[in-house]
Structure 1
Amino acid sequence: MSDYEPDEGRFVGRQVRAIRARRGISQQVLADRVGLSRGAIAKYENGERPVDSRRVLYALAQALGVTVGDLTGHEQDKLDPSAAGFHMSVPDIETALWTEGNATPTGPPRTLDELATAAQHAAKLRIDTDYAALGPMIAPMLTDCYRYLRDATGADRDRAWDVLATIAHTTAAALKARGYPALSWTAAQQAERAAEAIGGTAALAATAFARSQVLLARPGSLPSALAYAEDTAERIAPDVRTLGEVETLGMLHLQASLVTAAMGGDPEPHLAAAAEQADRLPHAEPGTSILRNPTFGKANVALWRMSAAMERREPGQVLRLAPTLSPAELPAEGRRAQYFVEIGRAYAMQRNYRDSLYALLRAEHAAPQHVRNMTHVRELVGHMMRSARSELTTGELGRLAQRVGAVPA
């Protein structure tokens, strides 16, 4: 054990203990509500065991009558200095969404060609998890798009709806990732509005994916998260032909696999369905919509298979799957970071903290803004600080703990 004191730093169990005490609930009562042993609750509260699964995290939040953010330090997560540019842009994004661009104009809008190019660049920034660069771009793009929808007619108006579908989906995904679920839901509603206007299945799939992602982070909402993904996938499947449609349908099945795993079910049927869509990619029609998800493919299916196994608390399966996938095959830094995060979580579950640290450092190097904001990473690093040998805690692990906010900087 290290010299790190159990009550230092920030971890979910500490918040559970504080909220439980304020509620006047005993450990046994909380354990009964969650369906765990009193000893398990004690280990979570003392920092001897990390809360490293959605099922336990959501169950604790529900039993205590609080939000997940109350347990994870949600508001503090927004203070990540590496993404300050994004957070400073949120009020402008909020205004653009609420007013639908009916705000004081600062000049003529960009051409539709320029706007489409900007939307595709923004989508790439989001995939690469460069939120600091992405944030300031969103509100002006939304405003310009809404102005076209008010003033344009015919083909230009149809194209503006297509661009809005892409921008709104990017906005919803970024807001959800940075801790703004309610505003993310508003952006998803705008994406759905665009989907209804253009009738494209890719836009419908992207909207359902965004909604399911938001609901996945909400205790008690997993059945709804699964329904959004499953029902939409079933409804659009007969009409999917173009490249963007195949990609977004495949991502819906991957999302459904993760929600199913989080609910304790078997994710394999959805993973198999996603693999079938990946096989269709080489033969899919190009399509005219700019809405795409180029991260989808066989490598991404393999990555989500690892994530589903981790969600089911099967570290051995994660480590068996890892060598079958080269991170170089993954098409974005955020995906490569996720690959190493899952490996790190698996090693930590087996108490191999040295290899876990090595994997987490590689994840942070790939996508620092993304990884430093992940609740699972913060919780895991804090646990290792309380459990690992002192030569780790005083070196790279200690510095990582400061960067992710597991201990005071």
Structure 2
Amino acid sequence: MSDFQPQPETDRYVGQQVRLIRARRGISQQVLADRVGVSRSVIAKYETGLRPVDSRRVLLALAGALGVDVLDLTGQEQERLDPTTAGFHTAVPDIETVLWARGNLTDTRAPIALDQLAALTVKATKLRHDCDYATLGPMLVPMLTDAYRHVRDTDSERAWDVLGAVTYGVASALRARGYHALGWTAAQESERAAAHVGGAAPLAAAAFSQGQILLSRPGALHAALAVTVDMAESISADVRTVGEIETYGMLHLQGSIVAATMGSDPEPYLAEATEHARRLAAAQPSTSVARNESFGPANVALWRMSAAMERREPGEVLALAPSMTPDQLPNEGRKAQYFVEIGRAHSLQKKYRESLHALLRAEHAAPQHVRNMVHVRELVGHMMRTARRDLTTGELGRLAQRVGVVPA
């Protein structure tokens, strides 16, 4: 665990941790500003809460300049104490053991049949996409253990394929809950399974998972882009089935958000994803259990909104929003992201009431996810400090309590 713990103040925001760690490092605001590439006054605004850290690029730059992990700035350790998600966090030590032991545990129960395990993987994927981590957590240890057992017992391509899907889902869930190092272990296991299967979809899924984890690490943006782009190029000639198009398309969407975070143009990746989303209707059925059913035209449009938001283009975000409806998005997690991006865009335009309305709709769709999002916490805290009192004492104040910006 890091030495840098969130300060026990009533109003939580990233700038507090920046100020604390900067002081401990003996770094002046000017030196930090030079390292990040902003003015000293901007650093001062972050530290006093007058300006939220509202982009992935700034968060990564601050963490890199201070020589810490992103979680040291966000205080995400506190979320692990939240009783509403305890079902997931209490399962993590056992997940770690299963991954380290590759399922070779003193567990005497009989594994479920491989077809049943594949079906359970589909159910777990839906829970993960809907961001119901409390329900998902207790399922992961027996699923992982059984997947490894089937590989040991049969060494069949089908067993390796299922193991790849299970470990991919575990990696995604761990990353989303802030367990990046353990998520990387699971992603490597997904990659190992994909190598035994050899199909495009398992390989793409493993690379996507690795790219997502790298995107959360200071200094790793070029690696995150290389992992996804290199894999996309290597499998492009073999992409034919629904699952292959889905997982291949997600590599391009990942490329778009990495590019936007780097300050580059995300459009080439979004255009490629758009083209492949159009292929889905006429594609061959999948042969592998590796899928990403969230991929499709609506999700591409949503990632376009996220890329625009990362580039601080709120007008573009709000112009794109009417191009889809929430019902067109494939799961509750994507619906929540749609409203979060709208809320962030309104906030940049200082339309705080509209921003609050969007954030409340996001929270309703996926409460476990939204209440743990750094951008949401930063935005809600900023509005609490700057919005009119009639707003802060009502719904905004209650939301601030639920996301942990102020004590409940």
TM-score tier (shorter):
over 0.9
CA-based RMSD: 1.0
Where do residues 130-145 of structure 1 align in structure 2 (5 Å cutoff)?
130-145=132-147
Q: Which residue of 2 aligns with 1:51?
A: 53
Q: Which residue of 1 aligns with 2:333?
A: 334
Q: Deviations over 1:137-179 (max 9, x none)?
A: 11101111111111115xxx22111111110110000000001
Residue 384 of structure 2 is aligned to residue 382 of structure 1: no
- 2: distance between equivalents of 1:79 and 1:311? 29
Q: Which amino acid aligns with 1:119?
A: T
Aligned residues: 400
Q: Which amino acid aligns with 2:397?
A: G
Q: Which residue of 2 aligns with 1:4?
A: none
Match of 2:93 among 91, 94, 98: 91
- Indicate conservation of the 8 Å contact 1:77/1:179, yes or no: no
Residue 208 of structure 2 is aligned to residue 209 of structure 1: yes
- 1: distance between equivalents of 2:137 and 2:10? 33
Q: Deviations over 1:359-405 (max 9, x none)?
A: 00000000001101111111111111111111111111111111111
- Report the CA distance between 1:24 and its aligned residue: 2.1
- 1: distance between equivalents of 2:205 and 2:194? 9
Q: Which residue of 2 aligns with 1:118?
A: 120
- Indicate conservation of the 8 Å contact 2:167/2:189, yes or no: yes
Where do residues 235-246 of structure 1 align in structure 2 (5 Å cutoff)?
235-246=234-245
Identical residues among aligned pairs (%): 68
Q: Which residue of 2 aligns with 1:267?
A: 266
Where do residues 2-401 of structure 1 align in structure 2 (5 Å cutoff)?
8-152=10-154, 157-401=156-400
TM-score (norm 2): 0.97
- 2: distance between equivalents of 1:335 and 1:89? 25
Q: Which amino acid aligns with 1:328?
A: D
- Report the CA distance between 1:21 and its aligned residue: 1.6
- Indicate conservation of the 8 Å contact 1:338/1:363, yes or no: yes
Q: Which amino acid aligns with 2:150?
A: Y
Q: Deviations over 1:267-321 (max 9, x none)?
A: 0000000001101101111022121111100000000000000000000100111
- 1: distance between equivalents of 2:308 and 2:82? 29
- 2: distance between equivalents of 1:217 and 1:408? 27
- 2: distance between equivalents of 1:91 and 1:67? 21
- Indicate conservation of the 8 Å contact 1:80/1:373, yes or no: no
- Report the CA distance between 1:81 and its aligned residue: 2.4
- 2: distance between equivalents of 1:34 and 1:107? 53
- 2: distance between equivalents of 1:61 and 1:170? 27
SS at match of 2:11: coil
Q: Deviations over 1:248-276 (max 9, x none)?
A: 00000000000000000000000000001
Q: Which amino acid aligns with 1:353?
A: Y
Q: Which amino acid aligns with 2:268?
A: P
- 2: distance between equivalents of 1:221 and 1:229? 13
Gaps of 5+ in 1: 1-6
Q: Which amino acid aligns with 1:397?
A: L
- 1: distance between equivalents of 2:392 and 2:399? 9
- Report the CA distance between 1:14 and its aligned residue: 1.1
SS at match of 1:78: helix
- Indicate conservation of the 8 Å contact 2:346/2:354, yes or no: yes
Q: Which residue of 2 aligns with 1:3?
A: none
Q: Deviations over 1:198-242 (max 9, x none)?
A: 111101100110000001011100000000111101111110111
